[in-house]
């Protein structure tokens, strides 16, 4: 099965965007919880972001196979690195 470069680029870009959203949400949730936020909101945030990320990864695995899944996961790692660099010293 040959995947078009557009699908592969979309998988990577979706992974980067999902990684940025996921890890910004981790930062926000941690700050909220440390500041005395409601535990229910924290748990809901955790479950929601895990469900969205898992659905995205599973969707690319089904639609594009291992190559698209790996590119999406690589994109998540790139998104994480970007967020970590942006938030350095923000705590």
Long-range pairs for 81-89: beta carbons < 8 A, 24 or more residues apart: 82/16, 82/19, 82/20, 83/19, 83/20, 83/23, 83/24, 83/27, 84/23, 87/27
Provide the pLDDT confidence category of residue 91 given band limits of 50, 70 and 90. Answer: low
Q: Would you list the domain boundaries of the chain?
A: 5-83
Q: For the segment 31-56, what is each residue's pLDDT rounded down to a tens digit?
A: 888 887 777 888 888 899 999 999 99
Provide the pLDDT confidence category of residue 1 given band limits of 50, 70 and 90. Answer: low
Q: For the segment 47-83, what is each residue's pLDDT rounded down to a tens digit?
A: 999 999 999 999 988 988 899 999 999 999 999 999 9
């Amino acid at each position: 099965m040959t995947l078009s470069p557009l699908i592969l680029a979309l998988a990577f870009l979706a992974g980067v965007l999902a990684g940025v959203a996921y890890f910004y949400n981790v930062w926000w949730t941690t700050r909220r919880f440390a500041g005395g936020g409601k535990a229910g909101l924290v748990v809901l945030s955790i479950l929601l972001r895990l469900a969205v990320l898992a659905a995205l990864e599973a969707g690319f695995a089904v639609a594009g196979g291992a190559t698209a899944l790996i590119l999406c996961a690589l994109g998540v790692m790139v998104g994480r690195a970007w967020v970590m660099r942006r938030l350095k010293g923000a705590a």
